[in-house]
Amino acid sequence: MNKTIEVHSSVSALVNRALELILSTVETAISERGQFTIALSGGSTPKPLYEAIANQNLPWDKIHVFWGDERYVPADHPDSNELMARRAWLDRVAIPAVNIHAIPTLAANPEVDAAKYNQHLQTFFKSTSGEFPPLDVVLLGMGDDAHTASLFPHTEALKVCDRLITVGNKDDNLRITFTYPFINAARNVIFLVAGANKRPALAKIFAPVADDFIYPSRLIKPQGKLYWLLDAAAGLELKP
């Protein structure tokens, strides 16, 4: 794992750096493999990043978009990560519909939809059960409880190591989420973290010793590059 911690002066500077990293990776991935794959995160911090990506002139037919997690709500629900990304980015560019790989949420059973998305990913990446194919970029946020994607402290999702997708749980609100081994297969993982409220969790995540099941973001140790992009408020007490 190649870990980089960067503290930026503002959320805007953080977003600009994330955009720079993504554009560089798009170029490399398409040059080497003919396509670029990215998993999106929800929350407010990545929204300006998606808006910035929408303003780029990119080979949209070679870009495939996935989601690292999704609330178990319809795609037109205000809480949907898919809806946010579509409004900020995907509906504003000429990306083919088949290149948008949204998490299904309509089976009235999250286990069924998680299995369906798991199968979809295996088919897309031509992988078999037990294999973890590498996405080019996985974008992640982090909550002040140190969760990432829908991998919450003390939940069963943290124990799932034999699948790409599982069901997450926050206060009995079910989610669908990447498993941490699937995230760790990525070529690049980019955390976007902003706000002073994140400092206590970050201190535990970067500590030499702490409990991964209390601070799930500690489980993210990709085979590729790991970027922690923090704004000044989040990174104030860190010395990269």
Q: What is the pTM of this model?
A: 0.97
Burial class (CB in 10 A: 0-12, 13-18, 19+), 26: buried
Can you give the residue ranges of every domain in the chain? 2-230
Residue carrying the six token digits 């955390």: 191
Hey, which CATH number is domain 2-230, 3.30.420.10, 3.50.50.60, 3.40.50.1360, 3.60.9.10? 3.40.50.1360
Q: List the chain pLDDT tens, one digit each, 240 residues.
A: 689 999 999 999 999 999 999 999 999 999 999 999 999 999 889 999 999 999 999 999 999 999 999 999 999 999 999 999 999 999 999 999 999 999 999 999 999 999 999 999 999 999 998 899 999 999 999 999 999 999 999 999 999 999 999 999 998 889 999 999 999 999 999 999 999 999 999 999 999 999 999 999 999 999 999 999 999 999 988 754
Which residues are registered as beta bridge partners of 4? Answer: 227
Q: In this structure, is the dihedral angle defined by the CA atoms of residues 200, 187, 41 and 228, taken in order, positive or negative?
A: positive
Rounded distance, CA 7 to CA 200, Å? 16
Q: Which DSSP state fits 101?
A: -
